[in-house]
Amino acid sequence: MARDPSAYHFIVGSMNQRSFHSFSNSGVIETIVSDLTLPENVIVLGLTVDSTKKCLLACLHSVAPLPPFNALVAYDLRTHRRLFQFYLPSDPDFPIFYIGYGLDVTNDVAVDFKGNTYVTNSVGNFIWKVDEDNEAAIFSRCPAFTRWARCLRLMRTMGQRGLFC
């Protein structure tokens, strides 16, 4: 869920409809984006509003049975048109299959004051950075991202979850 301060509403992404919806403080819900060009199995995880660029940024992740898909997508908040979609790369130095689980998972997104975008990878336990030139790269890796996850086998595939800039 993200807050759009310019329109005085909140935005949520659907887990199964490839859409985004706004709701007001009075409970009125409106579909603002329905993007059927996204893969059928995509789910929306993290959202944020870039107030400077007046756009909605969303983390997209796919689920089985279709192939893995991790991307950052942006929509103009005024026209509701897609501005871009970036596929986010895996870490070539640490293949996810090494830990026995298998997928990168885009989880949350934040924007800094310079316009750089940061996206967490909950399974790969790193952070991607998309700079102002729209170049995506792995920005940060840290053992602290997996410190507690190693304690429980069930939680082994979960690392950092949220971002705030």
Look at residue 104 and give its three-state secondary structure. coil
156 within domain boundaries: no
pTM: 0.82
User: Please, which residues have CB within 8 angstroms of residue 10's CB and are 6 or more apart in sequence?
Assistant: 1, 2, 3, 4, 22, 23
What's the rounded Cα separation, in Å, for the pair 35 and 39? Answer: 9
Which pLDDT belongs to residue 92? Answer: 67
107 within domain boundaries: yes
Closest listed residue to residue 15, CA positions, set 40, 37, 50, 32: 40
117 within domain boundaries: yes
pLDDT by position in tens, the chain (length 165): 999 988 889 999 998 899 999 999 889 999 999 999 998 889 999 999 999 999 999 999 987 777 778 899 999 999 999 999 988 887 766 655 444 444 678 889 999 988 899 999 887 778 899 988 888 888 887 666 555 444 444 444 444 444 444
What's the rounded Cα separation, in Å, for the pair 49 and 47? Answer: 7
Terminal C-alpha separation, the chain? 16
Looking at the 3D structure of the chain, how many domains does it have?
A: 1
Which pLDDT belongs to residue 95? Answer: 53
**Domain extent at residue 48:** 2-151
CB 60 within 8 A of CB 49: no
158 within domain boundaries: no
- Here the CATH number for the domain that contains residue 74 is 2.120.10.30
144 within domain boundaries: yes
